[in-house]
């Protein structure tokens, strides 16, 4: 089966955004950008919730041709533009996917079944960046294969917790990594299924 990989930035005290859902308070540096470019390169599908999809499509499509952007961010933009997008939403319409045309919309009620089928198809990884409400639901329902959490050198004190309250989830540590030019630390976990795969 294809792996569904979640990549998320978080503060040392466990928040993925500050008050008001402000993600700019997190130290998303070159190491973070380069790691996400690597993950996108290993995937052929990006899975997003409605809020993150709207945010991404309003920013990333034009970055590929922005001479002022970093080479890494231009690579991220090109990879995102080229790959298939799957959005879990009950409100978005096909007219709201411009300028990304390669977008499939799945209703929330159908998400678990449709994503299970998607994982069974031949292909590369399925990448989830941001969309913490979506991936917390998928994590609680045994649809996430790996959690890649980059822990930033900041304590926010308040904000949006990385993990929603849910049942216990067992993890196995795969890797801990630190870059020479960054104070961020990556921890990668394999998610242990809580019930037999159907």
Let me know if residue 58 belongs to a domain.
yes
pLDDT number for residue 196 = 52
Let me know if residue 124 belongs to a domain.
yes
Helix, strand counts (H, E) of the chain: 5, 10
Per-residue pLDDT of the chain (198 residues; tens, 9 = 90+): 899 999 999 999 999 999 998 999 999 999 999 999 999 999 999 999 999 999 999 999 999 999 999 999 999 999 999 999 999 999 988 778 888 989 999 999 999 999 999 999 999 999 999 899 999 999 999 999 999 999 999 999 999 999 987 778 899 999 999 998 999 999 999 999 776 554
The helix, strand and coil proportions of the chain, stated in percent and rounded to the nearest 5, come to 35, 30, 35
The residues near 147 (Cβ < 8 Å, ≥ 6 apart) are 6, 8, 139, 171, 188, 189, 191
pLDDT number for residue 95 = 78
Structural domain count, the chain:
1
The CA R_g of the chain, rounded to the nearest whole Å, is 16
Instruction: Assign residue 74 the CATH number of its domain.
Output: 3.40.430.10
Let me know if residue 72 belongs to a domain.
yes
Let me know if residue 197 belongs to a domain.
no
How far apart are the C-alpha atoms of 16 and 2, rounded to whole Å? 26
Whether the predicted model's global pTM rises above the 0.75 cut: yes
Tell me which residue range forms the domain holding 114.
Answer: 4-192
Let me know if residue 150 belongs to a domain.
yes
Let me know if residue 154 belongs to a domain.
yes
User: Closest by alpha carbon to 37, among 76, 95, 81?
Assistant: 76
Residue 130 contacts residue 39 (beta carbons within 8 Å) = no
Let me know if residue 23 belongs to a domain.
yes
Let me know if residue 198 belongs to a domain.
no
């Amino acid at each position: 089966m294809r792996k569904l990989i979640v990549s998320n930035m978080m503060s040392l005290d466990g928040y993925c955004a500050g008050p008001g859902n402000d993600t700019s308070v997190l130290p998303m540096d070159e190491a973070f950008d380069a790691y996400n470019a690597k993950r996108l390169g290993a995937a052929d599908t990006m899975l997003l919730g409605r809020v993150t999809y709207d945010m991404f499509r309003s920013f990333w499509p034009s970055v590929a041709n922005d001479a002022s952007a970093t080479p890494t961010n231009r690579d991220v933009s090109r990879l995102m533009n080229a790959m298939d997008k799957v959005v879990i939403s009950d409100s978005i319409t096909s007219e709201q996917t411009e300028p990304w045309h390669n977008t499939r919309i799945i209703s929330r009620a159908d998400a678990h079944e449709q994503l299970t089928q998607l994982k069974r198809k031949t292909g590369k990884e399925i990448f989830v960046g941001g969309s913490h409400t979506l991936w917390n639901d998928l994590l609680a329902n045994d649809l996430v294969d790996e959690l890649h959490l980059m822990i930033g050198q900041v304590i926010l004190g308040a904000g949006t917790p990385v993990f929603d309250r849910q049942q216990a989830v067992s993890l196995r540590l795969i890797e801990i990594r630190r870059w020479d030019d960054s104070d961020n630390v990556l921890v990668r976990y394999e998610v242990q299924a809580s019930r037999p795969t159907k």
